[in-house]
Structure 1
Amino acid sequence: MARKYFGTDGIRGLTNKAPMTAAMAMQVGMAAGAHFRRGEHRHRVVIGKDTRLSGYMLENAMVAGFTSVGMDVVLVGPMPTPAVALLTHAMRADLGVMISASHNPYQDNGIKLFGPDGYKLSDADELAIEALIDGEVALAPAEEIGRARRVEDARGRYIHAAKSTFPDGLTLDGLKIVVDCANGAAYQVAPSALWELGAEVIAIGVTPNGKNINDGVGSTAPQVLCETVVASGAHIGIALDGDADRLIVVDEQGKVIDGDQLMATIASGWARAGRLKQGGLVATVMSNLGLERHLATQGIKLVRTSVGDRYVLEAMRAQGYNVGGEQSGHIILSDYATTGDGLVAALQILAELVRSGMPASELLHRFDPLPQLLKNVRFAGGKPLEAEAVKAVIAEAEAELAGKGRLVIRPSGTEPVIRVMAEGDDPGQVERVVDRICDAVRAAAA
């Protein structure tokens, strides 16, 4: 059954436009609260947010929704998405909420929900909540209306938890680190954690004003970080996104290191230490074929999933892997977290840096990526991928790349766009294949 409001990562959209309105936020609070009211205990929900201006509006609306159905609310303010997941479980809450649109501009916002175990909700839970949004929710009697309170030690709890993932006996003493917090949710916790572990920290993207989240800073805009690392003579740069669940690294030469190289680094280190479960890692169909070939030389398996960290996590849990992620920098280390955590992943990279004594440019360049090209084709309506002409062109391209590359074609889960990606040993061939498919999609959508 198709979901009406929930996408691949919660509900997301332009604020003050359906579905991302205060009225909808209140309805989501009412519906999710009603769904998770199980048993006679006093129910509790943890709500965090990033630094978007609209966060105030949506937070208050959700408080109204949850308290109206009898749930108490714990407000933790601006906090990373993984911190909300952690606190939901640690505080024995029945539900967790993160108000964020991740790496999107400030005009967008979103609602992510976590169950009592700290994991993102299943499809079944989301469908049940959607049914309640469109139906009738029973309100609590006057004497059972919930209360809301703010907790002041949430940041300290998360910093302590993140630091505890850094190996005993190691410190960051002597390392100069530039950290870019995207003017987002980690603007306080990430610099503090790195400094407390001994690093000399240069922090950028730590002056949020409600409108500058992800604006020219963060993991999707690393140019300022690259320049700052080189100018300051830092050993490494770390870039988080708006809700701090993804990580991109910059080496001492100012070169951007993507999630594929970072996953390879962590997986190799954990394999040497005998702690890489199932002898492999989980990534999506978008991870470079060079990663797969590199891991194979070390006897490390690569399991691929559909695009989206939720699918990576589902495969990790089902098959027992403890390392997974996406090329974009969502890295899930299930020994430590129930979702992607940019700071925790960064600490594992920094641990490898300290152990190796190598410069980041040497340590983190694990393989030469195969030429990879991704193009987006916007369409007005219909299902162009079902057109026979498009299917024929795709079949021809797959035959052409057989044994020499890969082809991934998928509709976006959030906008009317077809994403066409190809990679292979011959960059000219890759470009020709992508362009042929894009032309066919455009023709079918006309």
Structure 2
Amino acid sequence: MGRLFGTDGVRGVANSQLTSDLAFRLGQAGAYVLSKEHPHPRIVIGKDTRISGDMLESALIAGICSVGADVLRVGVLPTPGIALLTRTLGVSAGVVISASHNPVQDNGIKFFDSTGYKLPDAIEDEIESIVLSEEKPWEVPIGGEVGRVIEVTDAGRRYMDFLKSAVGRLDGLKVVLDCANGAASYVGPEVLREFGVEVIPIFNTPDGVNINVGCGSTHPEQLQRVVLEHGADLGLANDGDADRLIVVDEHGTILDGDFIMVICALAQKEKGTLANNAVVVTVMSNLGLHLALKEAGITIHQTQVGDRYVMEELLRTGAKLGGEQSGHIIFLDHNTTGDGLLTALHLLAVIKERKVPLSKLAAQMVRLPQVLLNAKVQHKDRLMLDEKVLAKVEEAERVLGDRGRVLVRPSGTEPLIRVMVEGTDQEKLRQLAQGVIDIIVECDA
């Protein structure tokens, strides 16, 4: 068995790679490692709507209770809601069962520490070493020392009340909300209505297998259509666990996380509330974002891909706003992880305050052409060091010169290598990106 933890917890095909047995052992090891300072620990568990969540939840609960920890079960709730409850209910740790934007056959297990932050690599390594070991370092509890399950029946209400404290009223806005048939299917439309927004919810009827199917932040095509059909001010698209947001303006144009960060950062800058006058982004952010923020005199801190790395850089620099092009946006003054609904509320607040359409706000950034292609591979780590692949990347970089860039990176959650090429000529970029992809596929054979 290779390394279990990727950039966002343990991921795999449910009941094949991510089995009930593995979930049970992760529950045991996670409860033990994260609860060393607590004589009788409690752990929050929540999930998205995919069908395998029930199976993995049962196995995790069994593992956690078998080492003497109690479980606070919150049911279906967005990942940021589980992070919130982890830090506000006085528990030892939190666990999310979700594979985010991935298809239904996938699932994942992600841990938060008692403060609601994702675990550092060293703690994940300790959990993993116990999972893979034959020896168990804990004494087996019996009788009244075995853990129990406590149902948290007001989890959704707690999360919505938290969101309602973030911004003021939003009356007068008409919004289409794509819930991806995921974790925000109930709380998303409900909390927007409580802000006074006229909400048209779509893909908000999860059945266990339709999560992310032709909808959500990775498939906003239907959202574009409904926004135009209803003459809405904008459209909002969450992913399966609602920790990311992609938006559609009133003309049906898709706007990614870079546009959202620019809009929110410039608004905060104008109001004097942009902490440390800085924003944290990843290497995937468009050069147009850099130009727009630099022109406004905003400092940009850049880190590797992954919202956990954005969080680390936020904590290191003292900045409070950061995120990814994919729509993971962190407002650290409010929550400890990406939060699609919180991001939506901040964006809507800017539109409400400025009294201008989203398209005009988005025009503050000019997006440079960018091509992103994926290669499905078996040996992504080896390929990142392959001489032929490296030579092809260098060749593409020479073609672009100082008018573009090439970024090749392995996915942290899927068996993919992602190739991003950015510059001024869209067709040339596509040719260069495809050339790198072809070499990667050839060398993987």
TM-score range normalised by the length of the shorter chain: over 0.9
Following the alignment from structure 1 to structure 2, what is the Cα–Cα distance between the partners of residues 5 and 150? 29
Deviations for 1:320-341, whole angstroms, at most 9, x for unmatched residues?
1111111110101101010000
Matches within 5 A, 1:106-255: 106-135=104-133, 136-137=135-136, 138=138, 139-166=140-167, 170-255=168-253
Distance 1:445 1:121, change over 3 A: same
Match of 2:406 in 1: 407
- Identical counterparts, % of pairs: 48
Distance 1:415 1:188, change over 3 A: closer
Query: Any conservation in 2 of the 1:191–1:203 contact (CA below 8 Å)?
Result: yes
Distance 1:57 1:293, change over 3 A: same
Q: Which deviates the most, 343-352 or 201-210?
A: 201-210
Following the alignment from structure 2 to structure 1, what is the Cα–Cα distance between the partners of residues 37 and 255? 48
Q: Which deviates the most, 121-130 or 359-368?
A: 359-368
1:250: Cα distance to partner? 1.1
Query: Any conservation in 2 of the 1:3–1:127 contact (CA below 8 Å)?
Result: no
1:395: Cα distance to partner? 2.4
Following the alignment from structure 1 to structure 2, what is the Cα–Cα distance between the partners of residues 40 and 216? 44
Deviations for 1:17-53, whole angstroms, at most 9, x for unmatched residues?
12x1111111100000111222454310000001111
Matches within 5 A, 1:28-39: 28-39=26-37
Following the alignment from structure 2 to structure 1, what is the Cα–Cα distance between the partners of residues 394 and 220? 37
Amino acid in the other structure paired with 2:145: E
Following the alignment from structure 2 to structure 1, what is the Cα–Cα distance between the partners of residues 372 and 26? 35
Following the alignment from structure 1 to structure 2, what is the Cα–Cα distance between the partners of residues 103 and 384? 25
Deviations for 1:216-272, whole angstroms, at most 9, x for unmatched residues?
221111111111111112111111110000001111112111111000001111111
Deviations for 1:132-155, whole angstroms, at most 9, x for unmatched residues?
111233222333101101111111
Match of 1:16 in 2: 15
Query: Any conservation in 2 of the 1:289–1:406 contact (CA below 8 Å)?
Result: no
RMSD of aligned alpha carbons: 1.7
Deviations for 1:65-86, whole angstroms, at most 9, x for unmatched residues?
1110010110001000000000
Answering whether residue 27 of structure 2 is matched by residue 26 of structure 1, we say no
1:158: Cα distance to partner? 0.3
Q: Which segments of 5 or more consecutive residues in structure 2 lack a partner in the other structure? A: none
Amino acid in the other structure paired with 1:290: G
Following the alignment from structure 2 to structure 1, what is the Cα–Cα distance between the partners of residues 440 and 248? 36
Match of 1:367 in 2: 365
Task: Name the SS of the counterpart of 1:403 in structure 2.
Answer: helix
Following the alignment from structure 1 to structure 2, what is the Cα–Cα distance between the partners of residues 351 and 421? 32
Deviations for 1:267-314, whole angstroms, at most 9, x for unmatched residues?
111111112122221111111111111111111122221111111111
Q: Which deviates the most, 399-408 or 90-99?
A: 399-408
Deviations for 1:423-445, whole angstroms, at most 9, x for unmatched residues?
01233432343233334334433
Task: Name the SS of the counterpart of 1:392 in structure 2.
Answer: helix
1:102: Cα distance to partner? 0.4
Amino acid in the other structure paired with 1:412: S
Match of 1:427 in 2: 426
Q: Which deviates the most, 415-424 or 187-196?
A: 415-424
Following the alignment from structure 1 to structure 2, what is the Cα–Cα distance between the partners of residues 389 and 110? 34
Task: Name the SS of the counterpart of 2:384 in structure 1.
Answer: helix
Q: Which segments of 5 or more consecutive residues in structure 1 lack a partner in the other structure? A: none
Following the alignment from structure 1 to structure 2, what is the Cα–Cα distance between the partners of residues 284 and 270? 20
In the TM superposition, structure 1's runs of 4+ consecutive aligned residues that sit over 6 Å from their partners are none
Following the alignment from structure 1 to structure 2, what is the Cα–Cα distance between the partners of residues 380 and 44? 39
1:393: Cα distance to partner? 3.0
Amino acid in the other structure paired with 1:162: L
Query: Any conservation in 1 of the 2:35–2:93 contact (CA below 8 Å)?
Result: no
Q: Which deviates the most, 40-49 or 2-11?
A: 2-11
Following the alignment from structure 2 to structure 1, what is the Cα–Cα distance between the partners of residues 166 and 316? 23
| TM-score of the two chains, using structure 1 as the length reference | 0.95
1:407: Cα distance to partner? 1.2
Following the alignment from structure 2 to structure 1, what is the Cα–Cα distance between the partners of residues 9 and 442? 32
Task: Name the SS of the counterpart of 2:180 in structure 1.
Answer: coil
Following the alignment from structure 2 to structure 1, what is the Cα–Cα distance between the partners of residues 393 and 282? 20
Following the alignment from structure 2 to structure 1, what is the Cα–Cα distance between the partners of residues 215 and 393? 37
Amino acid in the other structure paired with 1:150: E
Task: Name the SS of the counterpart of 2:439 in structure 1.
Answer: helix
Amino acid in the other structure paired with 1:388: E
Amino acid in the other structure paired with 1:141: I
Following the alignment from structure 1 to structure 2, what is the Cα–Cα distance between the partners of residues 29 and 280? 38
Task: Name the SS of the counterpart of 1:283 in structure 2.
Answer: strand
